[in-house]
Amino acid sequence: MSRAEPLYRLQLIDTEIDKVAKRVREIDAAIRNNPVVNHARQELEALQKVYQRVNNDQKMLDLDARSLDEKLKSEEERLYSGKIKVAKELLDVQQEIESLKRRRANLEETLLAAMMAIEESRKAEQKCAAALKQALKNWEEDKTAMRQEDQELRKRYATLVEQRKGLTNAILPSDLNIYVSIRTKKPQAVATLRNGACSACGVEPSSQMMQQARNGSIIVICPLCGRILYGA
């Protein structure tokens, strides 16, 4: 058996181990955090703030309206009380009443707009709350499936680790050290010879190197990318 062959097989296992470990990390992150839920929650919080603001605005407008109504009532009572004897004062009161009525009419329009804003804000808040509820439900369903996948992946990981252990026991320590040294720098430590060239970088090694890689008597390193060449 070629000395590079067990290293190639080891690489296949290591590649799958990396893939499984990456997916486990992804699942762990997805279980702990969900971007869709986070977005829906942030949207709801923002809408709740808007609703609170427009609601407070309406309360202030209501206070202004009551204040105007009280002042208007007071001025009208004063106008019709018969106590005003001076024509100029009577005219001033009439003008003040007209001014208050105009302000009250304008305020009524503002109040109506505020009420519409509150209703729209309330509907938007309810819609967003429903979206958040659905997102949370979907997340819980996804987490159930992801936990099942996580269990299966961890079993697969344990199996791969055992396979790796058995394989490394059959590899020369010096060859294993070369493999580990290369893999710390490159995810792919072993490259196959494909159509007379390194499958990783495409360089064509010398005929002597190709022969050595194929008969497997020594570990052959690609002169360009530094990977172990495996002549399958």
Q: What is the pLDDT of residues 18-44, one digit of tens each?
A: 999 999 999 999 999 999 999 999 999
Q: What is the pLDDT of residues 37-65, one digit of tens each?
A: 999 999 999 999 999 999 999 999 999 99
| Residue-number span of the structural domain to which 205 is assigned | 4-9+172-230
CATH number, domain with residue 135? 1.10.287.1700
Sheet with 228-230: list strands edge to edge.
197-198, 190-194, 228-230
Q: What is the pLDDT of residues 83-97, one digit of tens each?
A: 887 888 888 889 999
**How many domains does the chain fold into?**
2
Counting residues of the chain whose pLDDT is more than 90, the rounded percentage is 82
pTM score, whole prediction: 0.69
In a domain, 22, yes or no: no
pLDDT the model gives residue 201: 95
Any long-range contacts for 67-72 (C-beta under 8 Å, 24+ apart)?
Answer: 68/100, 68/103, 68/104, 68/107, 69/104, 71/100, 72/97, 72/100, 72/101, 72/104
Residue 49 shares a structural domain with residue 141:
yes
In a domain, 155, yes or no: no
pLDDT the model gives residue 140: 95
In a domain, 57, yes or no: yes
Q: Which residue has the higher pLDDT, 87 or 174?
A: 174
Residue 118 shares a structural domain with residue 210:
no
Residue 181 shares a structural domain with residue 117:
no
